[in-house]
Every structure is written in structure tokens, then in C-alpha cells.
Chains A and B, each alone.
Chain A
Amino acid sequence: MTRLLEFHAAKWDEPIVMEMGRPGGRGQIFPEPEAEVSKAVGADLIPSNMARKDRPELPEITEFEAQRHYLHLSQMTLGMMGVSLFGTCTMKYNSKTSEYATLRPELAEVHPYQHPDTLQGVLSIFHDFDGILQSLSGMDQFIFQAGGGADAAYTMAIIARAYWADHGMLDQRTEMITSIQAHPCNPATAAAAGFKIVNLPLEENGYPSLDALKAAVSDKTALIMINNPDDMGIYNPEIKEWVRVAKEAGALCFYDHANFNGVMGRLSARELGFDACMFMLHKTFGAPKAGGGPAVGAFGCCDALAPYLPCPVVVKSGEKFILDNDRPKSAGKVREFWGNVPQVVKAYAWTRGMGAEGIKLASDISVVANNYMDKRLSEIPGLVISNPEISVNRMEMTRWSFAPLCEETGVGTVDVANRMADFGIDPFWMSHEPWIVAEPFTPEAGELWSKEDIDLWIDVIAQITHEARTDPEMVKSAPHNQPIAQVKGDVFEDPEKWAMTWRAYQRKTGAIDRTERRRQ
């Protein structure tokens, strides 16, 4: 085994910002209105009954103190500073070139309601990137309004609504069919859009059976929403047949292409028969995740669904790019404006930086790396792969389980995740609810990481399983060199104790501030 690197996280014992500062402290100053302004309009311009009388209880600190405080907080965030093989999220390098490009005033200080003549640069990027995604999926039109993968699923649901309403069948086509293994956002958004949800269970092959689908589809089915491969790394080889069966029953078929990394350039959603799909730009296409957005679910569909797309749609008219708002059948908006524009620019940059060959190579690498991981993980006692009886090579990620280890030592997946951070390794993704696999963890190597990174990650897992047998308490009480010790979870479901703001915390605990605390 390679020697594990020594690591210790930064710890700053940083106060809550609300406890910092001193009366009159300032981090920003705004000038007084010009004399001509004050002379013309006077003071007290807010109607007296609406004029704020109390002083908001905000910190009063200097510019430097704010900078230093938040730099300290950034240093107490592991982020991708170690090795992050966070499954279902396809961790990639987020290019600084594109980050800096989007910080330029030519994008940062641009307003979405500017006349399109003054937006030709960004519109050209939208248009050309749409073309790239069309090529990757076979769809006819993409939009970028959705603020994440879930929002793109929601976009599908409202387009299905508009489609069936337009066909006079919304009262009949009321059901959405998906797999119990699908990402929760598929059933959740369809339900929020008013559809009833039919969840198909997994069967011995690791995916729902074609028979189950056949039994579920009917003239009530509005749409099916499905991802493939799933988070176990299993590809449903009957997917073409699924789509055929669903369409025969009249349903729309949506491909949640969040797990695209292993099949980029190999599959085309349209050629498989799907009517629409979504890509996650903050995942597969190299835009950063930023701890949970701004994100983009790029939604693409075939011509038959295009009239129902949320507006605006970027199209080329002659030599110019325009924002098409004239879609009388549009399903309405899922979000204001046309999307998280900088993230779209970064995703465009990623595809240009990779090129068609690079994208295919990335897909190769991500599947090779995952199979390498599977090989090495299978050699560690206490771990078991999901669906162990399925012996085929998995796709770009695999769900694993610590169930045997847990049975033997009492150390489960949450304990291991906590302990990983002690080695400077980001805790892994476990699994979405419901946990079909016990004590789950789901690594995904993607194309970024080196063999050394992957080996280190696996060595850390091996080390922790060893520790679980020799010193389980140490693992269970981890982490030991992170900025804080384990958080006590008792308050999170307790209305008397949870506190989502400092003012709530002070009210509930009579908390004294830090200076006081230190004195005691």
C-alpha cells in the first residue's frame, strides 16, 4: 500500500459574522447624494409609515475583516482540494479560462433585456452550443432556462402538460412512469406539475422489467422519465424497447441524461427513440458546482415538442441571433430570463476545449477508470458491489456497499465518509433515498483524476476498513483533524432547538456573544 499523505484541515475557530465588529465599523461606504440631487428632492423620501425605524442587526466590520473572515471559511471547506470522486456528480476540472471570461464586464455587466443587437456575442455562444448539444443528442432544439437538472425535469413535466392540453387529453393523460432508481427529481417535479407517479421496482437484472413497464403503460400515461445507465452503473439494454412500448401507448419519453459521461459520443437520445432529454452542464459539461448552483439543466427536444418550449428560444434569423418569444403554445416559464448564462458559456467552453475526439476519449476514460476502481475495491474485504450477481463491467460509476464491514465491525458508510475527510479526501456520495443498497457509497472517477489520485482514494478506503477492525471507535468518532468535530444532529428535527438564523438561536438559547463566552 502506498504511504498515505499526511493531512490536517485548516481550523480558524472563526466567530459567526454576527458576533464580529464594533459599533460604527464599516466595510463599504456610499457617497451622499450630490448637492443638486438633495436640493431637488430633499430628504425623507419614503412614506413615513413605511420608513424603517430600527437598525438591522448586521455586523459592523471593516472591509479587511469581511475578506479575512470569508477567506477563512473558504479554507475550512474541503471542496475539490483533495480527491473528490463524488458519484452522480461527475467531478471535473472547472476551467479558470472560462471562469475569468465570464467575469468580464462583457458578460457580468450585461442585462437580459438589452436589445438583442447588443447581445450578439452571448447569443452566438448559445446558438452554437445548442448546435453542439443537438449533435450529441439528436434533438432539434435546446433551451437553458432551467436552473438545474431537477428544473429541466420540471421543464419536461410542464411541456408534457402543455402538449396534452393542446391535444385535449390532459384530463386523461395523468400519469408519469419512472423507475424507483430514477433520481428523486423526476417523480418529484412531475408530481409538482400535477401528474400521478408510477414507480417501477427494480428486478433481478438491476432495472425494472419490460413486463412491468408494459403492465404500467396505458392510455393514461402522459410520459415516462428515465435515466440510463443508472447510479449502480447498470445500463438497461431494453431501453429501446421501453421507448417503443411507451410511445405505442402514446406517451412522451424523456431521457434524464445526467449520467451522460460514460456514453458521450456513443449514444444519441433521439436515435434511441426519446422525444426529449436533459444534460447537466454543471456536471458533464465542466461548469462548476459551486456547492449547489448556479446550475443549468439543458433541455432538448424534438421538433414536435418545440412549440411548447418555455421562451425565449435563441434562434438565428439571417445573419443575426434573436430571442424568439413568439410561441403561442409555450408551456410558460420555469424561471425568469434565459438561464444561468455564465454557466452556459463555461459549458460551451468545455465542449470547445475538448472537441469531439476529446469528448469520446473522456467517455472512454471514465468507464476505464471506474472499472479499474471496481477491480481494486473488490479486493478489499468488507465491501460488496451492488447487484453482486451481475458480473458485467459497469459503466462510469458503480454503487458499492459497506454492509459486510458494518455487520462485522459496526462501522457503516456514514462513519467511513466522516473519516475520509481526515485524509483530505472528500466524503463520497452514498445514495439517493430510498437506500436500495445497504450502507451504500457511489464513487465516480470521471476523466479528470490520475491513476495516483484514484489509487490514493482506494488506499484510504482500505485503510479505513482496516481501522474499522482495529479501532472502530476511532472511525466512529471521526473526523479528528477537520475544522470541527462531529455535528450533533439532535436539533435538526426539534422545533425548540433548530435555529436557521442567529436571531433565532439567540432567542432560543439566550446565547451570549463570543466575547462574553471567551470571558467565561
Chain B
Amino acid sequence: MPTDTKSHPWMALSAPGAIDAMLAEIGASTVAELFEQIPQDHYRKTPLDMPPALTSEMELRRDLVTRLKRNGDCEVNLSFLGAGVWQHHVPAVVDEIVGRTEFATNVWGSYQSDHGRNQAWFEFSSQLGALLNLDVVQLPVYSWGCAIGHAMRMAARITGRSKVLVSQLSDPERLSVIRTYCQPRDMDGSIEVVTLAADPATGRLDLEDLKAKLGDDVAAVYFENPAYLGTIESEATQISKLARAAGAETIVGVDPASLGVITAPGDYGADIVTGPVQPLGVHMQCGGGAGGFIASRDEERYVRTYNGFLVSIAETQREGEFGFGLACPHQNSYGMREDGNDWTGNSTYLWAIAAAVYMSLLGPEGFAELGRLIVSRARYAARLLADIPGVSVVWPDGHFKEFVVNFDSTGKSVAEINTALRTHGIFGGKDISDEGLNLGQSALYCVTEVHTAADIRRLCDTLKEVLA
């Protein structure tokens, strides 16, 4: 590579002569000499085949923006998609803070040099703990599904049992991750995933089936509040009592955006709580905003089974001063390799900071208002949709921001309807017809605080036109 060409803006030592000067100091005459460890027959034979370089920022930006503009987005279009990633309002201050280069590019220093970031992490756990009414919150893992997977493995470690119970109406996306984490039956340490019947009238867990399946081999019962199909599990206390009586852990998945209006899981007997971080101020980013938290009571039997980073407040050598550090650092895979709890690594910690800023902006009143606004508008949308001939809402009451809309009587498939809606700039709800849920031609609609009454009317008017 010639060193006398233009130097590259991202590499100081690409400046003319810079490498040669270094070589001279090392006492080497060629770069190749420094690669002496690699045997000749290891070098690749095929040349690199890459598109031309775009070394000027101008050209690079043009390429990125031109490509991204080929996407349709949920600001230009009116979207009712949810199911694990939801369109919520992201306050501008959150964008500013997560964009700060100190937060965006840091890696791992000392507890002192990372103090600000560590405090932001602790504030994530503290504020989320206040929403959940729980004392321990781990920094987020990769996603909600991964959080559930780890929580189930925690429960298996705690109880020494190897079966978990989940609703038959689970999200197939999360369930696929859960099954991965619970691993195949014929391997060491596998956990069997057994589905529980749901009450067709309400979408909630069938408690009789739960009682029948709870035995001394069950490590945990998992349910969500609100659940995949939007329903609120109003018998939560009952479920956790039944689980406890059988010696099983109660694992709950919650949407943190609901916690201003829905009871904190710490108050209805949940032992381990999981949920998505994305609703707390993280853009959807085509799924790149995913992150999943795990929380529990502050008991050693839980704390000692976490897989990742637990940030604790601590004193410093200076009187009256706080610092932060990792609690129980030796129990994870950094400390114990294959003998640690599952594994950990780079995760989604920037979203912990986004969520910390978001929660501090909303405060208790903000969460209450947000919850009321979402549930009101979602219920309104359900009402209006149900008034359209041929359209019905499967469980019209008792849901939070998502609900199931059935189109069986329209004679059209969800796929056809969504294609037609798209030509009107509307992204209809997620097609759940092929998910084995026995709900016919149905779609999961999501309505949040970003959807105004006018948006909802526009959806209904367009649907009428499309179905006519």
C-alpha cells in the first residue's frame, strides 16, 4: 500500500511517511517483516472483492441516505405494528444524551473514570425498580426474549427443576428464543417448555390447566402482563400463589410503559420480572432498539443466579461520597468461564441510559398520564374497529395497548387487507393468522400515545374503503 497517497481521515498513521517513520524506530525495513508469525501458506489467495471506497464523507453520506430513503417509515406512514417493538414518543433529551460521544463510544475504564456512566446505570436500575416495586434490577441483556430465557435458567438453577410453563398464546418470536435458551431435550441441563391452555373467552391463562400441570418438577410459571395479544392477566396474584404452593418460581414479563396504571409486579407475587427496555425512550430502529431487563427481590437465592452486570452503589475513600461498581462480579462468565451463570458480554447498555433519562423525564405523573392515554386510545380504536361491518375485536375489553382484530367475516385475508392499507400509507397490525393461535384471519393492532383520535378515524375510514 503506497503511503504517499492522500491520508485517510480515520487513520492518523496513513499520513505520508508515517508508517516508514515507525518502521525505522522499530528497526524493521518492511511492514511484511512484522507479520513474520503467519506462515506463507496461510495468506489468502483470493483477492478482496469489495465495492469501491467512499472515502469522502460527502459520498458516504449520500450512499447511506439514498439507501435509507428507500425505506418506508412509521412517521411518513401510519403504523399499527407492535408485538415486541412499539412506536412510542422519544423525548429529544434522550436522543441528546445517548448521542453524547462519551456515552456512545466508551468501553470499560475504572470505577472512577466511568463514574458518570455507572451512576446513569444505577439510576436505570433504581428507577425501573421503583416502577416494578423490586429491589434488584440487572443491566439489560440483548432482548426481552433473552431476558426470559435467562430468567428461566435462573429458576432452573434455583429450584433444581427442569420444566417451565408458558401460555399457548405466546409470541412466537419470543418463544423461539426461549426454546433456544431451554435447549433440546436430549442435552444436559435442558429445560422442557410446556404450554398452558388459555381461556378462549378472555385470552388469559386457564387456571385449571395451570393447576393440573403444576407439579414438583416445575421450575417456573411464566406469564406476561399485558400479554402478547394485549390482554391483562388479572389473576396474577392467584397464579403466583399457585406457583409458590408448588415450589415453582413466578416469572413475569411486563411492559414498563404500562406501569403507571397497572399494578407493579412486585406487588402481586412475581419472583423474577422481565421486560423490554425499548418502550422507555428507545427508537424502534427496525428492531435494533431491543433490550431486555431482569429484576427480582433482593434475596441471595436470586442475586447469586444472575448472569450479567449488577451495579451497586458503594462508598468511596472520600467521606460522604458515592461511587458505583459491580456486585457479585465473579459469578458471571467473565469471572468463571463455563462455570459461570450462562454467559455475558457486550449487551444493550446504552439503552439503560436512554431508559434512565426517559424515566426521569416522565416521573410518576408522566407514567400515569402515558398509561391512561394509551389505554384510552387503544380502547377507542378497538371500539371503532369493531363497528366496521365484518370486523370484530377478539377480546374487546381488558387489554392495554395491543388487541386482536379479526377479519373472518370480511371474506378477505389479513395479508390482502394490509397490502391494500399500505397503498394508503397505513401499516396494518401484525398478521397473526399463521401463528397457530386458532384465531382465524386476525391481526394484532398496536395503539400508543403517538396515535391521535384522528389517526384512528383515518384507519377506520380507510379500512371501510378497503373492505368495501
- Within A394-441, which residues are at the interface with B (CB < 8 Å)? 394-395, 417-418, 421, 426-427, 429, 432-433
A364 interface neighbour in B1, B65, B187, Cβ under 8 Å: B1
Chain A contacts with B in 465-518, Cβ cutoff 8 A:
477, 479, 482-493, 495, 498-505, 507, 517
Contact flag A356-B53 (CB < 8 Å), given A80-B105, A105-B73, A364-B19: yes
B173 touches A46 (CB 8 A): no
Q: What sequence of 0s and 1s flags, for each residue 116-147 of chain B, a beta carbon within 8 Å of any chain A beta carbon?
A: 11011011011111110111111100111110
Instruction: Give which listed residue, A101, A240, A368, A485, contacts B65 with CB less than 8 A.
Output: A101
In the complex, how many angstroms separate the beta carbon of B436 from the nearest chain A beta carbon?
15
Which residues in A have their C-beta under 8 angstroms from that of B127? Answer: 17-18, 58-59
A459 part of interface (Cβ distance < 8 Å): no
Q: How far is the CB of A33 from chain B (nearest CB, A)?
A: 4
Question: Is the beta-carbon distance between B131 and A356 smaller than 8 angstroms?
Answer: no
Residues of A within 8 A of B116 (CB): 14, 72-77, 483
Known contacts: A50-B262, A73-B117, A103-B95. The answer to whether A342 contacts B337 by CB under 8 A is: no
Contacts of B461 in A (CB 8 A): none
A354 partner, pick from B10, B123, B347, B367, beta carbons under 8 A: B10
Contacts of A517 in B (CB 8 A): 320
CB closest chain-A residue, reference B298:
A504
Cα(A9)–Cα(B190), bound, Å? 49
Query: Chain B: how many interface residues by the 8 Å CB criterion?
Result: 221
Q: How far is the CA of A60 from the CA of B362 in the complex (A)?
A: 8
Chain B residues whose CB sits within 8 angstroms of the CB of A135 once the complex forms = 48-50
CB neighbours (8 Å) of B286 from chain A are 107, 110-112, 119, 122, 337-338, 341-342
Cβ of A352 under 8 Å from chain B: yes
CA distance A425 to B27 in the complex (A): 28
A355 to B186 CA separation, bound complex (whole angstroms): 47
Structural contact, B117 and A52, CB atoms closer than 8 A? no
Interchain CA distance A113-B435 in the complex, whole Å: 14
B10 near A50: Cβ-Cβ < 8 Å: no
Which residues on the A side are within 8 Å of B316 (C-beta)?
Answer: 484-488
Asked if A384 lies at the interface with its beta carbon under 8 angstroms from chain B, I say: no
| B287/A365 in contact, CB under 8 A | no
Asked if A333 and B145 sit within 8 Å, CB to CB, the answer is yes
Contact status B37-A449, CB under 8 Å:
no
A57 to chain B, nearest CB (A): 4
Residues of B within 8 A of A302 (CB): none
Chain A CB within 8 A of B468 CB: no
Bound-state Cα–Cα, A337 to B218, Å:
29
The minimal Cβ–Cβ distance linking A205 to chain B, given in whole angstroms, is: 10
B-side contacts of A427, CB under 8 Å: 109-110, 113
Q: Judge if B212 is at the interface, Cβ distance under 8 Å.
A: no
Contacts of A161 in B (CB 8 A): 183-184, 187
Residue of A nearest to B56 (CB): A353
Contact A67 B97 (CB under 8 A): yes
Tell me if B37 and A70 are in contact (CB < 8 A). no
| Least CB distance, B11 to chain A, in whole angstroms | 5
Cβ contacts under 8 Å, B75 to chain A: 105, 109
- Chain A 113-140: CB-based contact to B (< 8 A → 1; otherwise 0): 1110111111011001000100110100
Question: When chains A and B are docked, how far (Å) is the Cα of A237 from the Cα of B42?
Answer: 8
Inside 8 A of A113's CB, which chain B residues have their CB? 81, 83, 85, 430
Report the Cα distance A29→B26, complex, angstroms.
62
1/0 per position for A238-280, CB-CB distance to B under 8 A?
A: 0110000000000000000000000101111001100000000
Complex Cα spacing A49 to B269, Å:
14
A191 at interface, CB cutoff 8 A: yes
Asked if B110 contacts A60 (CB within 8 A), the reply is no
> CA of A63 to CA of B125 in the docked complex: distance in angstroms?
20
Q: Is B245 an interface residue (CB 8 A)?
A: no
Q: Given A149-B345, A352-B53: A343 and B288 within 8 A (CB)?
A: yes
The chain A residue with its CB closest to the CB of B340 is: A188
Question: Which chain A positions have C-beta within 8 A of B180?
Answer: 158, 331-334
Residues of B within 8 A of A150 (CB): 333, 343-346
Bound: A343/B291 CA distance, A: 14
When the two chains form their complex, are residues B114 and A77 in contact, meaning their CB atoms are under 8 A apart?
yes
CA distance A417 to B314 in the complex (A): 20
- Contact present for B11 and A451 (CB under 8 Å): no
* Chain B residues within 8 Å of A77, by CB: 102-103, 106, 113-117
- B230 proximal to A (CB < 8 A): no
Q: Knowing A500-B311, A501-B125 touch, does A433 contact B337 (C-beta < 8 A)?
A: yes
Q: Is A33 touching B373 in the complex (CB atoms < 8 A)?
A: yes
Any A CB within 8 A of the CB of B165? no
Known contacts being A352-B54, A503-B135, is A41 close to B383, with CB within 8 Å? yes
Q: A36-B453, A453-B12, A492-B312 are in contact. Are A290 and B146 (CB under 8 A)?
A: no
Q: Known A81-B102, A418-B110; judge A47-B345 contact (CB<8 A).
A: no
- Check B113–A194 contact: CB distance below 8 A: no
Tell me if A375 counts as interface (CB < 8 A to partner B). Answer: yes
Q: Quick check: A336 and B145 within 8 Å, CB to CB?
A: yes
Contacts of A57 in B (CB 8 A): 130, 364
B142 touches A147 (CB 8 A): yes
Confirm or deny: B91 has a beta carbon within 8 angstroms of a beta carbon on chain A. yes
Residues 337-373 (chain A) with a chain B CB within 8 angstroms: 337-345, 349, 351-362, 364-365, 367-369, 371-372
The answer to whether A86 touches B143 (Cβ under 8 A) is no
B34 an interface residue at 8 Å Cβ cutoff? yes
Q: Does A380 contact B (CB under 8 A)?
A: no
Answer yes or no: B394 CB below 8 A from chain A CBs: no
Q: Does A307 contact B (CB under 8 A)?
A: no
B288 touches A365 (CB 8 A): no
Q: Evaluate contact between B346 and A149: CB separation under 8 angstroms.
A: yes
Report yes or no: B177 in contact with A334, Cβ–Cβ below 8 A: yes
> B23 an interface residue at 8 Å Cβ cutoff?
yes
**B342 at interface by CB-CB < 8 Å:** yes
Q: Please state if A79 and B288 are interface contacts (CB–CB under 8 Å).
A: no
How far, in angstroms, from A174 to B430 measured CA to CA in the complex? 40
In chain B, positions 344-358 with a C-beta closer than 8 Å to chain A are 344-351, 353, 356-357
Query: A66 in the interface, Cβ–Cβ < 8 Å?
Result: yes
Q: Are A63 and B186 closer than 8 Å at their CB atoms?
A: no
Asked if B411 lies at the interface with its beta carbon under 8 angstroms from chain A, I say no
Q: Could you tell me which residues of chain B, from 285 to 320, have a CB within 8 Å of some CB in chain A?
A: 285-288, 290-291, 298, 300, 303, 309-318, 320
Contact string, B311-343, partner A, CB cutoff 8 A, digits 1/0? 111111110111111111100011111111011
User: Are A66 and B361 in touch, CB under 8 angstroms?
Assistant: yes
Q: Determine whether the beta carbon of B13 is less than 8 Å from that of A369.
A: yes
Q: Determine the residue in chain B with the shortest Cβ distance to A428.
A: B109
What separation, in Å, do the CA atoms of A353 and B452 have in the docked complex?
Answer: 42
A97 shortest CB reach to chain B, Å? 5
Query: In the complex, A51→B236 CA distance in Å?
Result: 12
Interface centre among B69, B131, B284, B344 (most CB of A within 10 A): B284
Beyond A58-B130, A485-B317: 15 further Cβ-contacts under 8 Å? Answer: A81-B101, A103-B95, A104-B65, A110-B286, A111-B85, A122-B286, A124-B67, A147-B346, A149-B345, A266-B44, A271-B46, A337-B286, A353-B53, A479-B112, A495-B298
26 sample A-B contacts, Cβ–Cβ < 8 Å, listed by A number = A26-B366, A28-B361, A28-B362, A37-B376, A45-B376, A46-B400, A77-B115, A91-B107, A97-B64, A105-B76, A106-B68, A111-B427, A158-B183, A174-B188, A185-B333, A188-B333, A266-B44, A289-B106, A293-B348, A335-B142, A337-B85, A392-B36, A421-B110, A427-B110, A491-B314, A503-B126
- Please name the 9 residue pairs, one residue from A and one from B, whose CB atoms are nearest each other, closest first: A355-B53, A337-B287, A150-B345, A76-B116, A194-B187, A121-B70, A118-B72, A147-B142, A188-B333
